[in-house]
A and B are shown apart, each in its own frame.
Chain A
Amino acid sequence: MRGVDLVSNAIRFAILLFLQVFIFRQISLGWGGAEYIFVFVSPLFVALLPLRTPRPLVVFIAFLFGLSVDLFYETLGVHAAAATFAGYARQFVLAILEPRDGYKVKASPDGKDLSQGWWFRYLGALAIAYTLFYFSMEAFSPVFWWQIVVKTVFTAPISWLLCLIVVAFLRPRL
């Protein structure tokens, strides 16, 4: 039952914020004068919040994390909007992916109590939600829908992969 109390969530908040703004911010790959690949670990923070957290609180904590990221990215509001959306979408992802016998009380969302495949799908859905909303807010107009789609297609899988790697380092299994 590690990782579900307040202290470990606060520590995770700090660690993921540090990783996002000091390490993964440096990564921006692209070609032809445009950048298409970024790395976001913010979905990981939203995903790792305890399953029993009240839904409004999930949204609010996600907003706080996104706002903190924004302060370092100098894009005030964009990450916050994406993180808020991911926090709101989390309840629907959980409802869709709910196992046949429901979630256990005090279950941690990472793959310990639930299957590895469930964790992959869960994190992937949140990563897609986060990146799609992030690039929509960055473009801020449906006129740029093609850029939004392309950036999401490239960024979401890589962010998802990085999140899996980070969680493997943070919470080694066995």
Chain B
Amino acid sequence: MEQILRIFFNNGSFITFAGLQLLCVYLIINFNSKQGEIAAETWSVRAGSVKSVVGTFQDYLDLREENEIQQAEIANLRSQLENALYDTKAGVDSIDDQRYQQRFRLLATNVVNRSPFKPTNTCVIDRGTAFGVQPGQGVVGEHGLVGIVDLPTANYARVISILNRAARISAGLRNDAFGTLLWEGKDPRRMTLTDIPDFMTVVVGDTVFTTGYSNVFPTGVVIGTVESSAEQPGTGSQDLVVRLINEPLHARNAFVVQDLLKEEITSLNNNRR
């Protein structure tokens, strides 16, 4: 209170001045037509700008609600886009595997999901049991191999990549030597072909094919080329380092190889056993 009084005494002339000026402005506006009109005009202009500012602020407060409405609408529209739909149109092609008189059917798919790089790589394709995808069917790319179907669902299937330490693939050379192709788990560009007899002459640059003996892949699909060979002492075999011709982890399009005669061959194997 004392401070307020002190402020008043120190600035008494200013307070008197300000109060009287307000009174004067009031008198000027109300008793002089010209100044009154100017004041009214100014007031209307300023009031308009104040109203627009208030409107902008209220729009800002409604932003959250507007955002929800927009997001619901976006979700609605995007659910109608092509990439939100499951494509039921099957792209089917077939090749004749004349050597063994088998017929494979290839089903076009897209890779829709990939695991991060690790020793057990997998990926997911967008075709499932609705198209006849079953566990154990091979998956090839435009060039080379991609993997083997592991776990199909109605519309999707999980694929064990050939770059998976659990994968074993029957592969061979042009001179009918064959062995097992496996991955060491480190270099995604190279695989190892084991169990090639050491008396077989292997030249660097030879092409490595699938053999088709395991009924997973058709015979004669190119896998890669021989980069080097190393005899395994005491086993009578040699290991070949195979340089892959494709990048299985980066495949976007793939084809599921469906062996139409698989049950017949499986029954033969069972009888033999």
The residues of A with any CB-CB pair to B shorter than 8 Å are: 54-56, 58-60, 63, 70, 75-78, 80-81, 84-85, 87-88, 91, 137-138, 140-141
Contacts and interface: CB of A to CB of B under 8 A. Distances in A.
B24 interface: yes
B213 interface: no
B24 A80 contact: yes
A84 B13 contact: no
Provide the main secondary structure of the chain A interface. Answer: helix
Contacts of B29: 77
14 contacts: A55-B12, A56-B15, A60-B20, A70-B27, A78-B24, A78-B32, A80-B23, A81-B21, A87-B17, A88-B13, A137-B24, A138-B35, A140-B38, A141-B38
B13 A58 contact: yes
B14 interface: yes
B13 A77 contact: no
Contacts of A54: 12
Q: List the 7 closest pairs (A to B, CB-CB), nearest first.
A: A77-B27, A55-B13, A81-B24, A77-B28, A76-B31, A88-B17, A140-B35
B177 interface: no
Interface of B: 12-17, 20-21, 23-29, 31-32, 34-35, 38-39, 42
Given A59-B17, A77-B29, A137-B24, 6 more contacts: A55-B12, A77-B32, A80-B27, A88-B17, A140-B39, A141-B38
Given A78-B32, A81-B21, A140-B38, A88 B14 contact: yes
Nearest to B27: A77
A125 B24 CA distance: 22
Contacts of A80: 20, 23-24, 27
User: Most chain-A Cβ atoms within 10 A of its Cβ — which of B14, B23, B24, B31?
Assistant: B24
A54 B15 CA distance: 13
A128 B12 CA distance: 24
B91 to A, nearest CB: 76
A52 to B, nearest CB: 14
B20 A63 contact: yes
Contact of B34 (A63, A81, A88, A140): A140
B6 to A, nearest CB: 15
Contacts of B42: 141
Contacts of A75: 28, 32
Contacts of A76: 27-28, 31-32
A30 to B, nearest CB: 17
Contacts of A58: 13
A84 B15 contact: no
Contacts of B16: 56, 59-60, 88
Nearest to A140: B35
Contacts of A81: 21, 24-25, 28
Contact of A77 (B14, B25, B34, B38): B25
A144 to B, nearest CB: 9
B17 to A, nearest CB: 4
A140 B28 contact: yes
A81 B38 CA distance: 17
B75 to A, nearest CB: 54
Nearest to A90: B13
B21 A84 contact: yes
A91 B38 CA distance: 32
A73 B21 CA distance: 18
A64 to B, nearest CB: 10
A63 B26 CA distance: 14
B45 to A, nearest CB: 11
A77 B26 contact: yes
User: Most chain-B Cβ atoms within 10 A of its Cβ — which of A56, A88, A91?
Assistant: A56
